[in-house]
């Protein structure tokens, strides 16, 4: 039975999303191994800016949430 065009488009979109998620997961694992960002970009096929965004979106390695200190009050 022939697949509908809508189904084929949906399947293609899902496949692209999964491939992107796999690339990002591999990239994150390589970032955790402290490989150079340029090398990871070449190997995984992501742009350096994308890798930097991924890296920034990850919690710190030790699992602690950084505590932001309030700014000092203005001096009189």
Spatial distance between the Cα atoms of 30 and 39, rounded to a whole number of angstroms: 9
Pair 46, 31: CB distance under 8 Å? no
Query: Is 29 part of any domain?
Result: yes
**Helices 48-56 and 37-44 sit at what angle, rounded to 10 degrees?**
110
* Domains: count for the chain: 1
Instruction: Choose between 45 and 61: higher pLDDT.
Output: 45
What per-residue confidence (pLDDT) applies to 69? 54
What per-residue confidence (pLDDT) applies to 2? 66
- pTM of the predicted protein model: 0.67
Query: Is 19 part of any domain?
Result: yes
Q: 25-60 pLDDT, tens per residue?
A: 999 999 989 899 999 999 999 999 999 999 888 876
Backbone angles phi and psi of 44, in degrees to 5: -90, -25
Query: Is 51 part of any domain?
Result: yes
What per-residue confidence (pLDDT) applies to 23? 94
What per-residue confidence (pLDDT) applies to 56? 87
Which range marks the domain in which residue 33 is found? 14-56
């Amino acid at each position: 039975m022939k697949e509908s065009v809508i189904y084929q488009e949906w399947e293609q979109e899902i496949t692209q999303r999964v491939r992107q998620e796999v690339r990002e997961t591999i990239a994150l694992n390589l970032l955790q191994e402290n490989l150079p960002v340029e090398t990871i970009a070449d190997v995984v096929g992501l742009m350096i800016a994308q890798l930097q965004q991924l890296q920034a979106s990850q919690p710190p390695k030790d699992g602690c949430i950084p505590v932001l200190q309030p700014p000092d009050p203005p001096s009189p």
